[in-house]
Every structure is written in structure tokens, then in C-alpha cells.
Amino acid sequence: MTATKIDGTAIAKSIRERISQEIASKQNANPRYKPSLVIIQVGERSDSSTYVRMKLKAAEEAQIACDLQKYPEDISEIELLEQIERYNNDANVHGILVQLPLPGHIREYEVTSAVADAKDVDGFGGPNIGELAKKGGKPLFVPCTPKGVMVLLEESGVDLKGKNAVVLGRSDIVGAPVSYLLRNADATVTVCHSKTKDLQGVMKSADIVIAAIGKERFIKGDWIKPGAVVIDVGTNYVPDDSKKSGQRLVGDVDYDGAVEVASMITPVPGGVGPMTVAMLLRNVVNAADSYFDRQKSRHVTPLPLKLQDPVPSDIDISRAQHPKMINKVAAEVGIAPSELEPYGAYKAKVSLDVLDRLKHRRNGRYVLVAGITPTPLGEGKSTTTIGLTQALSGHLGRIAFANVRQPSQGPTFGIKGGAAGGGYSQVIPMDEFNLHLTGDIHAITAANNLLAAAIDTRMYHEATQKDGPLYRRLVPEKKGKREFAKVMFKRLEKLGINKTDPNELTEDEARRFARLDIDPETITWHRVLDVNDRHLRGITIGQAPTENKVPPRETSFDISVASECMAVLALSTDLKDMRERLGRMVVASSKAGDPVTADDIGCGGALTALMKDAIKPNLMQTLEGTPVFVHAGPFANISIGNSSIIADRVALKLAGTELDEDHNAKTGFVVTEAGFDFTMGGERFMNIKCRASGLVPDVVVIVATVRALKVHGGGPEIKAGAQLPEVYRTENLECLRAGCVNLAKHIANARSYGPNVVVAINKFSTDSPAEIDLIRDAALAAGAQAAVPANHWAEGGPGAADLAHAVVDAAEKSQPENFKLLYPLTDPVTARLETIARKMYGAGSISLSPTAAHQLETYTRQGLADLPLCIAKTQYSLSHDAALKGAPEGFDLPIREVRVAAGAGYLFALAAEIQTIPGLPTAPGYLGVEVGEGGEVEGLF
């Protein structure tokens, strides 16, 4: 009989056509679906180049993007490995194929093993081969030639179960892996090689012969069992004068002899070769499918809580929970390993590259947590932010991020304590969260103080040098050439000087360039320190004998988080934007009345260099292992009191949906917190942060407590550390009902911007059911969509599950198109101040001090008036007066001073005596802090 030829060319063509149709169908659902392969070829071997051309042509036919990267024969191994790592980290590359063989100086195993498992479409990496060899193993990819052999047998209708299969050849590329596949198909497999004894006898018993020994026409026809199926994997070149190349391709089997004995046989060429290429394409498509599936299959596995009653201290709860490794937290939400920069085991920075990778995604839902006017004890806003996120991510199955501010060490060691949340709803490790973290605040401190030093230094040198020497020292000649530093072109542009050669400036131009002529009375830039230190509120500098050319001047320190550099970090949208903002920060006025900026001094680039890593958000986790971004911590009284735009943008993309996902069903949540009450942090979130970011919240959660509302209903003053008066420990509906006017005002304020409002009633053990019901009824009457009691402090995520359901429902009903800002920037500053005071605070009027009026005139003249506003006032009242509780109306709001944060992009008006560097109490928090023998921090709260 004559064997049936198994036409690999035809079968491979059919497979490629099916792959092409499959890709087209998937692209209809998701236009971003474009399987991509990179082929790495080292040197120019003719046989390798032939194979590469076949792969490129087949990939093009199948609509697979294929990029051939050629490297010289003498490339070093480490350079080649660097290139592979680059493609490993490229999200647009789904498969990587290293064309073999490699030059002798490069270790093949090292190179093939360097390809990421998820992109090892050749299937030669250790994990894939290892899984293939295991019984029941699950390799991501099967090597292409062995896989092609199996598909040829399947397409030819060969039933392998119980058949005797002989594999001639034991290579890692074909022989070994094909033997594993045959075994997994229930064949009885014998692996032979050139030194196998009685090879012909073994071959005679084979129902299936796989020839992969690499020797031309090694297997003779009379070795083959009549009716056997023969798959010839051999590729051997023999001389042939009839061919243009002078050689032709033959297999490991003597085809002419075998074809008369076998029942089926593959020709060479035209058998296994085309199938190898087809299987490569199949693997690339599978790799792309896996990548896109991973983008949609993100899931957070919550850590179990070990609840105790009574609830232990925050630090004890934190220490009792063993956190996930931070790379696991990142992997669960789809952060690529190359986008993660670990700082130890439990915290990391996230590269902004993630924004480019996920720019196609629809954003997740955006939730702002604010509060009613608080007591000195705080009403659990941070705790609610964490508890709500734990519920959303750990118990409702949504990807959810808590985006919170980084705490200053000032309150941590002072009276307020840390800001990690509390009870069973907190960020862990709590001590790392509250102490240093990744050094962002230290970077801001360094940048701020560099600028402060530069201001005084510039004043000193201008006072001690004439125009010519001053200019020549600012732009010195180096190696016979004088050049402007890059930053200097910003000042030249500001002055309208369009020259690039320092030697071409006229004397007047050089003088105007070199002399900032700062008026010392107008300097607004202070030095900073991340410590509460009342004794730095007023200092005198320049008293050393070496500084006698410039009179001493009075200045002060602020706490680091009050620095405009911190506000810039919070409001920047990317690194370039941060550089521009830092450069345009106004630090003083010249004696002529012109604004002097950081770029005028020449500091903008250096400040950016100090803060370039700080711009990356910090990833941590909650007590239940759900993700948290900790980034920026602007002082909530005088600044925006919100975490960063960048952290929100990154989280919204990570929590968002792919183009082919059901958005309502799958979208995640980003829960961020505004400092103090809605009228402070919330108003600034809307009018400053949203204006800068272009992001719009879907839901506002207002946190309320029975305790705080009773204060607004006429209850006695609450003092930190003192016993709560009885009215706060027992049911008192009358006092509570009177205080609900404060809650109603905050709900009305939040609703005026457009988002739906949900009230979170943060429960304490002393709250009665009647009191909870009263708050719920008052909130609904005031326009809240829902009002839900939550016990997340004592129960963690489960205690906020009802609140989470309410937030999801409110988010699904959100109408972002209805969002509106409180005022346009075209209105005069006084009109904008009045709008905030009347609509947000309930004031009847405002009054400007002469100082404030003069400052506004100056800013208007300098072109700095068209900026959003931030009003610094007490957090303990809707008004400027902490004694006015409830919802006062008709009062006059005094504006004693107005300052500009030109880099951050807002004006801030001081409506009260706000200390920008707090002091320490008699018994500060640091008294309880200690370090145990094992290095554990104790006593933080």
C-alpha cells in the first residue's frame, strides 16, 4: 500500500485562516486587540533568516503584528538580556521569540529563560517545559513543533489512546516535549536515540513514529511497522545540483521506502515545518488573549480579620495582622512588576508609566468622603474612607482604592496622632504609614529649604556686587565659552529678551536679567520642618558676622506640609506639569512690584530633581489587604487638604474597565478623603482640585456622628483627653435634632455641585437606635440619597457593607454631566470670596482688611488674580469663629490677609488666626512612643 500524505501546508493554511478570522472578530469587540510578536535574531545565518521570513509572512497573513529585531553577531549576552527585559516590560508585546541557534559566546539557556513566562511563545522557558513534563501540568505555552505534531495527528484523525508511540530523538526542543504530549494523550511512549539498543526492533513495534533525530534519511522503510503513522520532524540539507541553492531539504525518514509501508506520513518539506509556524501564531494569539483576560480578571482576595471585643489599640491591631507582600497587592489590581518600585516588603511607589499603559480605559467611579463640622476628637472620616474601601473591595468584589493623604510627623508626635484610620479600618503597617513612609515629605522639605536659601543668597550677592561682575558670575565662562543654563531661558523669555548668546546682551539687558532686586518686605517664602515647634513661628536670620552686608530680617518656619511645594505635588498632573508649577511659584516681589518666581532665581529644575520620585504615588494596603494610595498631604487649613491628582488618576485607571467590559457591572471605585468638613476640604476638592484635574466625583459621602451633631445642637464643649459630658453618652433626641442643621447644610453644599450624596453615620457604642433613625430621617429630608449606619471601626469591612451598597447604588445613578463649579474665574476676587462665604458658610458679607485689599491689588496688577480660592479658617465651625456651632447665618467673614500660591494655582485668604507650624502640648504624643527589642514601634496612635 501507499501511505496517505499528511499535508501540513494545507492544514497550517487552514489554521492561519481561522486565526485571522478570530482576530478580526475580537477586534470588532475591542479595537485595541492586536496580537504582537517580537522576533529577536542575532547574526545572519541563512537558515535562521529563512525561518524568520516564513514567520513574518505567516504573521502578516494572520493579522499579527510581527517586529523583527536584528542584533549583531558580537552582541554581548548582558546586552541581549537587557533587550529581552525591555520587551518583557512592554505591554504592547505579547510574545517574544528568540531565534535559535545563538552565537557560541551566548548561553542559550540563560537567554530563553529570560523571556517572561507570559510571553514565552516558543515554550522553551523552564516553567513551561517543567509544567509540560508534570502529570497534569498546565504550561502557558507548548513548544511550537511538538504542538504542531499533535495537531497534525489530531487533524488527520489519529486516535492515540493505547497506541505504541516511539519518539526518535531526545532534544529539549522536540523529542522530550513531544513525548510528554503523547503520554498525556494516553499513548504508550518510548523515547529512543542513536544509541538505543535494537533500535530497529523497537521501531517495528511502533504504531506512531515521531522522527526527530537530525540525521538525513536515518529511518529506513523496513524499520516501520506496516500501517504505522510516521511524522518526520527532520530538517536536513543534502546536495542537489538541480536546485538553485545547490541543496534540498530531506527528513530523518527515508520517504521513498517508508511511504510504501506506513498508512500516513508527513513529507519534508510541507509537513511539520508549516505547522511549527502556525502553532507559533496560535501561541501568540493565546498570549494576547491571556494578557487581555488578565486586564479584566483583577480580583482582591481580602485578608481575614481577627475581631476582638473590646477593640484593642490601633497599633496592636495593626501589628496583629500579617500584611500581604506589596508585590501581591500590586498584582491583584493589575500593576505590572516593572511599574512597581518596592520600598521594603509592604510599601512601594508606582511608576506613572501605568497611566500611559491604561490610557484607553474608562475611569472607575470617583467617591469623595468628607464630613460634618467636627469636634476636636474627629468624627472618623479617615476610618470611614478605609472601612468603605475594605467593604467595596473585600466584600462586594469590586476593585477599590482608598486614596489618602500622607500624615505629617507634626501631629503624629503632637496631640492629634497619626492618620491611618482606626480600629479594624486602618492602613497597615500603621507605623510605616505614619513615620517617613518613602520620604516624600523629606523631599518637599529639602526642595522648600533649597529655595529659601537661594532667595537669601541671591539677595546677598546682588547687594555685594556690581552689575557686570554679577552677570558674569551668574553666566560664567567655561572652557572659553559662555552659555546660559537651561533654566535661565525662562527668565529671558519673561523679560522679552530673545537672545541665546550671553555675550550679545546689552548692559541694560544683562542688568535686568541679573538683578531680581527683591524687596525683603514682600518675601512670602518660609523655611519648613516636619515637626511641631512653636518657637520657630518667628525668627531672625542673617545675624552671623559673615552676612553683615545685608541687614538681618525677620521670618518664620512653617510645617513641611504647609509648603507650597506640597500643594504643587498634590495638584500636578504629571512630571512636566510639576516642573512648570514649581518654577512659577512666586516667592516675593521686586522693588518695582514685579513677581519674583523660583525660575527667576534659577531653582525650578533643582526643585523638580529633589521631588522627581515624590511624584510617584505610594502603594500600601488596608487591614484587609485591599489597596491604598498614600500621596501628598497638604495642610488642610491653608491648603487644599486633599491627596494628589496623580494618585487619583492612577487609581481610577486601575479601577476602570476595558473597552469590552460592562462598565456598571465591573467598574471599581476610588474613595478619596477631603480634609476637615465638606465646607473646607470638600469645597476645595471641587473648585481647586477638580478644576485642575478635570475629574468629577460620582458620589459624596458625608460622615456624621451623634456626638458631633449634639455639639451643634447646643451640647457642652468637648475637650481632647477629658471625660465626655453625659449628653454625649446617653440618648438626647432634642439636642441631636437641633444639631442636624449642620448636617443639612453640608448635604446642601455637596449637592450644589451635582453629585449624589450618601450620609455615613459612624456608629459609637453609646448611640441609641432612635438617635440613628433621627439622623437618617434628617439626612433624607435634606436631600441625601441614602443615610446608612456603619460600624467599620469595630467590625472592619463587614461593618461598612451596607454603606458600600448605598455608595454603589448612588454611583450608578450619578450624572457627571450635571457637575458644576461654584464660581467662574472671570469674576472679581472679592465676588468669588463672597460667593464662597455666602453659599458655603452662610455668611451675610465679607470684609477685607487694608492689608488684604492691598494684596489683592498687587496680585491683580501682577496678573495673578484669576486663580481659584482657598479660604483658611477654623475647622470647628462653618464660619470663621469656632464658637459658632450649628449652621450660623448672616455673619460677616473677615479676610485679614490674602496670599498667592501661583505654582499650586490658587489664592488663599486667611479668615482667622491659623498657625502654619503647630506647637506641642504639655504631654505630646511622642511620650508614648518606644521601640521594642525586636524593633517594633510601640505607642503610636
By annotation, the residues acting in catalysis are 55, 99, 122
Question: Which one-letter amino acid corresponds to residue 241?
Answer: D
State how far the Cα of 208 lies from the Cα of 194, in Å rounded to an integer. 18
Helices (H), 33-76: 46-61
Contacts of 14 (CB under 8 A, 6+ apart): none
Q: Which residue has the cell 542584533?
A: 71
Sign (positive or negative) of CA dihedral 658, 659, 662, 664: positive
State how far the Cα of 512 lies from the Cα of 849, in Å rounded to an integer. 34
State how far the Cα of 708 lies from the Cα of 729, in Å rounded to an integer. 12
Q: Which residue has the cell 522639605?
A: 445
Q: What is the DSSP letter of 759?
A: E
DSSP reduced 3-state for 426:
strand
Question: Which one-letter amino acid corresponds to residue 725?
Answer: P
8 Å CB contact between 221 and 261: yes
Q: Which residue has the cell 513615620?
A: 435
∠10-155-151 over CA atoms, to 5°?
95
* DSSP state string for 805-865: HHHHHHHHT--GGG---S--TTS-HHHHHHHIIIIII--SEEEE-HHHHHHHHHHHHTT--
Backbone φ, ψ for residue 736 (5° rounding): -65, -45
Strand partners, 938: 930
Q: What is the DSSP letter of 561?
A: G
State how far the Cα of 338 lies from the Cα of 409, in Å rounded to an integer. 31
Cα distances (Å, whole numbers) of residue 92 to 95, 333, 336, 851: 9, 19, 13, 57
8 Å CB contact between 899 and 855: yes
8 Å CB contact between 417 and 456: no
8 Å CB contact between 632 and 644: yes
State how far the Cα of 640 lies from the Cα of 684, in Å rounded to an integer. 6
Closest to 915 measured CA to CA, from 434, 435, 447, 414? 414
Contacts of 613 (CB under 8 A, 6+ apart): 349, 438, 439, 443
Number of neighbouring beta carbons within 10 Å of residue 745:
25
Question: Which one-letter amino acid corresponds to residue 846?
Answer: I
Strand partners, 871: 909
Closest to 690 measured CA to CA, from 701, 674, 669? 674
8 Å CB contact between 318 and 429: yes
Torsion, CA 809, CA 812, CA 817, CA 821, rounded to 10: 30
What stretch of H or E contains 645?
A: helix 645-654
* DSSP state string for 653-681: HHTSB-TTS-HHHH--EEEEEBSSSIIII
State how far the Cα of 531 lies from the Cα of 919, in Å rounded to an integer. 9
Cα distances (Å, whole numbers) of residue 923 to 478, 536, 720, 915: 57, 19, 12, 20
* Strand bridging mode 95-98 / 36-42: parallel
Exposure class string for 565-596: b at 16+ Cβ within 10 A, else e: bbbbbbbbbeeebbbbbbbbbbbbbeeeebbb
First to last CA, the chain: 88
* DSSP state string for 569-584: HHH-SSHHHHHHHHHT
